[in-house]
């Protein structure tokens, strides 16, 4: 039908065809593929919580009590106490008046942006924002101005020159998912204030990781502005569960309940996921050791990779890109590493811009020093073989 085959052939020819790896078993740090145990350096389970017994048992209890699925959207068959508890906890965690759960981060972003903005509004979006933000901008039908990555000067001049719009929104990843750098949030909030805009911060990768008690990037910078700041976060990364939320003012949440189509017209996430997220918040708030281990693993990895001559770009965090430029080198490196027992994916366009292919390495709190040393050794061998380092 159509010319799908042809398009797939073209993808294969340019090294952009993707396949889902079949996996026999997985922990936070290891993965088994075809009976072979590999060191996993490619997950977003940054604190290793997805397999934590506290999360697993709370999820099992919730499934026994509430069932495996939610059965309908919350506006159709009502909420469940776990959702209400989790929303209160998330609002406290993010220090906002209220929070609203969404079934995924993707849906949170497209629901939020398309509910808040429409024709006659303007959205200013960082060039490296996640695909769900890009799609939310498109779906909103607002005028979208994509500013070069983290370039607040250019953003300022665009805001100054922008014509008359009903609403202005600046939207940014907090911790960029493919680059590991942190957005200049204090300056973005200043610009939002000066130009009467809202600031949406997608803290998918900072939640649980950055700031006091893992409250995220906004807390990391000590920012507060209940009228302008809207925080989106996910439960499926450092919090080890599944789902997402938007945190902000009470009026924003009431508005989203009525206007965000990805909240209204979709089945609520399974109650077990909410129970697991509640358990994760207990651990994240109480156990600073988890974050300390992640931090020290991150520092170790950055230092080692730089000393071997790799280029981790502007990363300051647990997400460490190893820039290869071409897709073919990224693919060759990933295959070489797989041979050496390390699972690390090649990230290619359209996930990243053309000529910005890379390996996306992530460290977790549960990686041991030996795990990290093994990964560095394997990367160095592969890097030399494929001309990435001398
Ligand atoms: C920055 C960012 N926002 C949103 C999402 C989407 O979240 P989810 O996986 O819950 O759909 C992701 C990753 O998946 C992400 O990296």
Question: pLDDT for 212-243, tens place per residue?
Answer: 999 999 999 999 999 999 999 999 999 999 99
What is the per-residue pLDDT for 279? 98
Is residue 269 scored above 80 in pLDDT? yes
173 lines ligand 1 (CB under 6 A): yes
Q: How confident is the model at residue 311 (pLDDT cuts 50, 70, 90)?
A: confident
128 CA → ligand 1 middle, Å: 13
Let me know if 328 is a catalytic residue: no
130 lines ligand 1 (CB under 6 A): yes
Give how far Cα 112 sits from Cα of 75, 102, 186, 338, 354, Å: 17, 10, 22, 39, 29
What is the per-residue pLDDT for 350? 87
Let me know if 51 is a catalytic residue: no
What is the per-residue pLDDT for 354? 85
160 CA → ligand 1 middle, Å: 31
* Least confident window among 15-24, 210-219, 299-308: 15-24
378 CA → ligand 1 middle, Å: 29
CATH level 3 topology of 21-51+288-385: 3.90.1150
Q: Which numbered atom of ligand 1 lies nearest the CA of 107?
A: 11
What is the per-residue pLDDT for 164? 87
Q: How far apart are CA 316 and CA 308, in angstroms?
A: 17
What is the per-residue pLDDT for 180? 97
What is the per-residue pLDDT for 347? 93
Query: Ligand 1: which residue has its CA nearest to atom 10?
Result: 105
Per the prediction, the chain carries an average pLDDT of 96
Query: Ligand 1: which residue has its CA nearest to atom 5?
Result: 105
What is the per-residue pLDDT for 351? 87
Tell me whether the omega of the peptide bond preceding residue 350 falls within 30 degrees of 0, making it cis.
yes
For tokens 């001559």, what's the residue?
309
CB 323, CB 338: distance < 8 Å: no
What is the per-residue pLDDT for 267? 97
CATH level 3 topology of 54-286: 3.40.640
- In the numeric block, which tokens belong to residue 92? 């406290």
Mode of pairing for the β-strands spanning 346-347 and 357-362: antiparallel
Instruction: Name the burial class of residue 340, with classes exposed (0-12), middle (13-18) and buried (19+) by CB atoms within 10 angstroms of its CB.
Output: middle
Q: How confident is the model at residue 16 (pLDDT cuts 50, 70, 90)?
A: confident
What is the per-residue pLDDT for 163? 77
Q: Which numbered atom of ligand 1 lies nearest the CA of 129?
A: 1
What is the per-residue pLDDT for 181? 98
One DSSP character per residue, 43-76 reads -S-TT-GGG-HHHHHHHHHHHHHH-SS--S-HHH
Q: Where, residue-wise, is CATH 3.90.1150.10 in the chain?
A: 21-51+288-385
What is the per-residue pLDDT for 320? 97
344 CA → ligand 1 middle, Å: 19
Q: Which numbered atom of ligand 1 lies nearest the CA of 174?
A: 1
Of the chain, the percentage scoring pLDDT greater than 70 comes to 100
356 CA → ligand 1 middle, Å: 20
Q: Where, residue-wise, is CATH 3.40.640.10 in the chain?
A: 54-286
CB 253, CB 246: distance < 8 Å: yes
Mutational test site, ligand 1, from 181, 204, 236, 246, max ligand atoms within 8 Å of CB = 204
What is the per-residue pLDDT for 15? 84
236 lines ligand 1 (CB under 6 A): yes
3 CA → ligand 1 middle, Å: 30
Out of 52, 130, 205, 302, the active site residue is 205
43 lines ligand 1 (CB under 6 A): no
Instruction: Name the burial class of residue 248, with classes exposed (0-12), middle (13-18) and buried (19+) by CB atoms within 10 angstroms of its CB.
Output: buried
Q: Which numbered atom of ligand 1 lies nearest the CA of 132?
A: 4
Where are the extended beta strands (E) located within the chain?
25-26, 30-33, 36-40, 98-102, 122-126, 143-147, 168-173, 198-202, 229-234, 244-248, 319-325, 342-343, 346-347, 357-362
What single-letter DSSP state applies at residue 14?
T
105 CA → ligand 1 middle, Å: 5
More confident residue, 14 or 373: 373
Query: Ligand 1: which residue has its CA nearest to atom 16?
Result: 177
Is residue 1 scored above 80 in pLDDT? no
What is the per-residue pLDDT for 2? 85
User: pTM score, two decimals?
Assistant: 0.96
C-alpha closest to that of 60 among 244, 279, 235: 279
Out of 43, 125, 140, 177, the active site residue is 177
Out of 130, 220, 237, 302, the active site residue is 237
Let me know if 205 is a catalytic residue: yes
């Amino acid at each position: 039908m159509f010319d799908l085959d042809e398009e797939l052939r073209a993808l294969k020819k340019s090294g952009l065809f993707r396949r889902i790896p079949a996996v026999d078993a997985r922990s936070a740090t290891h993965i088994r593929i075809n009976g072979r145990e590999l060191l996993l350096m490619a997950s977003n389970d940054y604190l290793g919580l997805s397999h934590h017994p506290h999360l697993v048992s709370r999820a099992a209890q919730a499934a026994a009590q509430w069932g495996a699925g939610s059965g309908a959207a919350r506006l159709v068959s009502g909420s469940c106490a776990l959702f209400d508890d989790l929303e209160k906890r998330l609002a406290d965690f993010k220090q906002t008046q209220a929070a609203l759960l969404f079934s995924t981060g993707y849906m949170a972003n497209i629901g939020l942006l398309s509910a808040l903005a429409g024709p006659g509004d303007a959205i200013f979006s960082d060039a490296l924002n996640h695909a769900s933000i890009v799609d939310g901008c498109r779906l909103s039908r607002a005028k979208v101005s994509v500013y070069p990555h983290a370039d607040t000067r250019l953003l300022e001049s665009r805001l100054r020159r922008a014509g008359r719009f009903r609403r202005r929104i600046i939207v940014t990843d907090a911790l960029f998912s493919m680059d590991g750098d942190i957005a200049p949030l204090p300056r973005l909030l200043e610009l939002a204030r000066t130009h009467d805009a809202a600031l949406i911060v997608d803290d998918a990768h900072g939640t649980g990781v950055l700031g006091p008690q893992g409250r995220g990037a906004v807390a990391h910078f000590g920012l507060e502005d209940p009228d302008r700041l809207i925080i989106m976060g996910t439960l499926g990364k450092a919090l080890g569960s599944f789902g997402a939320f938007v945190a902000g003012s009470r009026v924003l949440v009431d508005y989203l309940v009525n206007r965000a189509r990805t909240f209204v017209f979709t089945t609520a996430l399974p109650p077990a996921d909410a129970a697991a997220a509640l358990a994760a918040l207990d651990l994240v708030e109480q156990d600073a050791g988890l974050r300390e281990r992640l931090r020290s693993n991150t520092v170790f990895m950055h230092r080692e990779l730089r000393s071997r001559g790799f280029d981790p770009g502007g990363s300051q965090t647990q997400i460490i890109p190893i820039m290869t430029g071409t897709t073919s080198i990224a693919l060759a490196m990933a295959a070489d590493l797989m041979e050496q027992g390390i699972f690390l994916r090649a990230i290619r366009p359209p996930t990243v811009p053309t000529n910005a292919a890379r390996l996306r390495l992530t460290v977790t709190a549960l990686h041991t020093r030996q795990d990290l040393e093994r990964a560095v050794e394997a990367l160095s061998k592969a890097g030399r073989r494929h001309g990435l380092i001398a």
